[in-house]
Amino acid sequence: MLDNVSLYMYMKWKIKGPRKVFGYHMIMDCYGCDRKIIDSIDVCYKYLNLMTGIMKVHKQSEPYVVYTDPIKYPDKAGISAWVPIVESGISIHTVTPTGFVSIDIYSCKKYNIKKIRDFTRKIFKPKEIEEKHFLRGEKYVHLTIAEARKKIGN
């Protein structure tokens, strides 16, 4: 498995050339997080809201945050949250009893991996993070604005 620096360099190399990718997908699984923090609707809302600024992307709406019923689903008690962005979306799922947070960041705009990781560490305070990166739509054909307008009849 590649370390993060090697993976980043591989991703930069792979996207050069005549074909561009559609997007970039970063997954973080955070272990040993502060349970009080990850059980806060306010903290999860602020995380998503501030993340859009860190990534310099465009929110389509305010973050949507829901709390999972701890009586009905004690092993899944926590928060699920999502913010739609023009460039795609950011979601988090927390599991309060185990101090676990699962984060998906998907964007057609490049973003700074280190800034995202550092911000996540600052907010959720994980003892460990597993991280994976994917290129999405490697065969996607990008249209110009004029071509897109023509196809949608605008």
What per-residue confidence (pLDDT) applies to 141?
79
CATH code, 54: 3.60.90.10
136 is a domain residue: yes
1 is a domain residue: no
pLDDT in tens, 96-136: 999 999 999 999 999 999 999 999 999 999 999 999 999 99
Tally of domains in the chain: 1
Higher-confidence residue of 6 and 146: namely 146
Predicted TM-score (pTM) of the model is: 0.82
75 is a domain residue: yes
What per-residue confidence (pLDDT) applies to 81?
98
What per-residue confidence (pLDDT) applies to 16?
46
17 is a domain residue: no
Higher-confidence residue of 60 and 21: namely 60
Is residue 76 within 8 A of residue 68, CB to CB? The reply is yes
Q: How far apart are CA 122 and CA 77, in angstroms?
A: 22
11 is a domain residue: no
147 is a domain residue: yes
The one-letter amino acid at 1 = M
105 is a domain residue: yes
